[in-house]
Amino acid sequence: MAYINDNFTKIQHRYLFAEIAKRVAAYKEANPAAKIISLGIGDVTQPLAQVVTNAMHKAVDDCASVSSFHGYGPEQGYDFLREKIIANDYAKRGITLSTDEVFISDGAKSDLGNIGDILSVNNTIGVTDPVYPVYVDTNSMAGRQIRYIPCTAENGFTGDIPSEKIDVMYLCFPNNPTGAVITRQGLKQWVDYALKNDTLILYDSAYEAFITDPAIPHSIYEIDGAKECAIEFRSFSKTAGFTGIRCGYTVIPNELNIQSESGNRVALNPVWNRRQCSKFNGASYISQRGAESIFSPEGQQQIHSIIRYYLTNAGIIRQSLQKSGLTVFGGENAPYIWVKTPEHDSWKFFDHLLHHAQVVVTPGAGFGPSGEGYIRITAFGTKESTKEAIERIEGCL
Ligand code: MLT
């Protein structure tokens, strides 16, 4: 007899963004003429940078002749991309990495969940709350216990360092959903906590390209000791508009080791490599060539101009809603704006905005208990749709 993994029957019925899509579809069906604007899921709207499309066209052409055709690539990713990542994203910030410490993926979301394959199901998982649902869902699917660490306006949405021991701690800065950032000092406190308690930090820095304040760290490895306690996840999705192309990477330093259940210390890098070789065939050659192209001076200039476009939207959302009397957070070093709702129930406010403004946002409660009383608005719309959406929201407050 086949048995299901019962953990799946216990988790929330739908993934947050699937639940939102369902409600929007039902509204659309009942109101076919409605012109809905979505500032809900953080999906990009601007086309890929020219360097990226050129590089991907060229990569397709490579595959059109026997001499430059690419079949299965290395499971860890091509060195041409790993080397560029190290030189641009790390060496420039004084962080030394070798190519074998960088694993190219098909995006941060997959690896943030898949990393659980190499971790015991007995680990307790800490998440800052509100939280990107992937951390909670994937660990609940494996049967792990989750500890929510409240992130509130009072603690700057960075969470207080826990007094108890947590085995594995997810951190995400700039934060999804609150748009909060963490200072070097704040991040050092988490690293010190991890080193003291033998905690593994899973650091999601998918939104680091949106940091404008030079004092804010882009990588956890800017903090001394982090290579001994942290894995870092990054993505080209928001940095370079790859939500549909798919490419990201995961850094597992060689010195990072944790306890095995039989008591000895085990380095995680070779274990993850083993997992990837058996379960992953690598990101496509075409998407990796596209990702590589953003590291040229021209590529950097092009992607930063798109990032500035989204940050301008974020500014419009922040300032307009503030002027309307709402309390807003985030949106300065992040593409998300976290807005205190006039009425406490964030799903109710979500429905109100959908029905009266035809604008889709994300209800804070969908991100965890501390998200209640807030909504998240994404800056990834077009400038025109963002302006119109905000006007419509203001009109129905
Ligand atoms: C979000 O809206 O939180 C993100 O776009 C979802 C994701 O990156 O998977």
Q: Which atom of ligand 1 is nearest to the CA of 235?
A: 8
- Give the single-character DSSP code of 352: H
Mutation to probe ligand 1, out of 114, 131, 172, 176 (largest number of atoms < 8 A from CB): 176
- pLDDT band, residue 262 (cuts 50/70/90): confident
Sign of the CA dihedral running 131, 367, 250, 337 = negative
The H or E element spanning position 16 is helix 16-30
Q: Could you tell me the distance, in angstroms and rounded to a whole number, from the CA of residue 112 to the centre of ligand 1?
A: 12
Q: Give the residue, by CA position, lying nearest to ligand 1 atom 6.
A: 42
The verdict on pTM exceeding 0.75 is yes
* C-alpha–C-alpha distance, residues 332 and 128, integer Å: 20
What angle, 0 to 180 degrees and rounded to 10, lies between the N-to-C axes of helices 50-62 and 285-293?
A: 140
Q: Could you tell me the distance, in angstroms and rounded to a whole number, from the CA of residue 184 to the centre of ligand 1?
A: 25
Q: How many residues are there in the chain?
A: 397
Residues with CB under 6 A from ligand 1: 41-43, 109, 132, 176
Mutation to probe ligand 1, out of 15, 24, 41, 380 (largest number of atoms < 8 A from CB): 41
Contact 124, 147 (CB under 8 A): yes
- pLDDT band, residue 261 (cuts 50/70/90): confident
Q: Could you tell me the distance, in angstroms and rounded to a whole number, from the CA of residue 278 to the centre of ligand 1?
A: 27
Q: Give the residue, by CA position, lying nearest to ligand 1 atom 4.
A: 42
Q: Could you tell me the distance, in angstroms and rounded to a whole number, from the CA of residue 235 to the centre of ligand 1?
A: 11
Among residues of the chain, what percentage have pLDDT more than 70? Answer: 100
Average pLDDT value over all residues in the chain: 97
Q: Is the pLDDT of residue 12 over 90?
A: no
Give the chain's largest Cα–Cα span.
63
Do β-strands 102-105 and 248-251 pair in parallel, antiparallel, or remain unpaired?
antiparallel
Q: Give the residue, by CA position, lying nearest to ligand 1 atom 9.
A: 109
pLDDT in tens, 236-257: 999 999 999 999 999 999 999 9
Q: Give the residue, by CA position, lying nearest to ligand 1 atom 5.
A: 42
Contact 206, 238 (CB under 8 A): yes
Q: Which atom of ligand 1 is nearest to the CA of 132?
A: 3
Q: Could you tell me the distance, in angstroms and rounded to a whole number, from the CA of residue 41 to the centre of ligand 1?
A: 6
Mean pLDDT over 167-180 rounds to 98
Q: Could you tell me the distance, in angstroms and rounded to a whole number, from the CA of residue 64 to the centre of ligand 1?
A: 34
pLDDT in tens, 93-106: 999 999 999 999 99
Q: Could you tell me the distance, in angstroms and rounded to a whole number, from the CA of residue 386 to the centre of ligand 1?
A: 18
In this prediction, residue 36 carries a pLDDT of 97
Q: Which atom of ligand 1 is nearest to the CA of 177?
A: 3
* C-alpha–C-alpha distance, residues 283 and 271, integer Å: 19
Task: Starting at the earlier edge strand, list the strands of the sheet with 362-363.
Answer: 328-330, 336-340, 374-378, 362-363
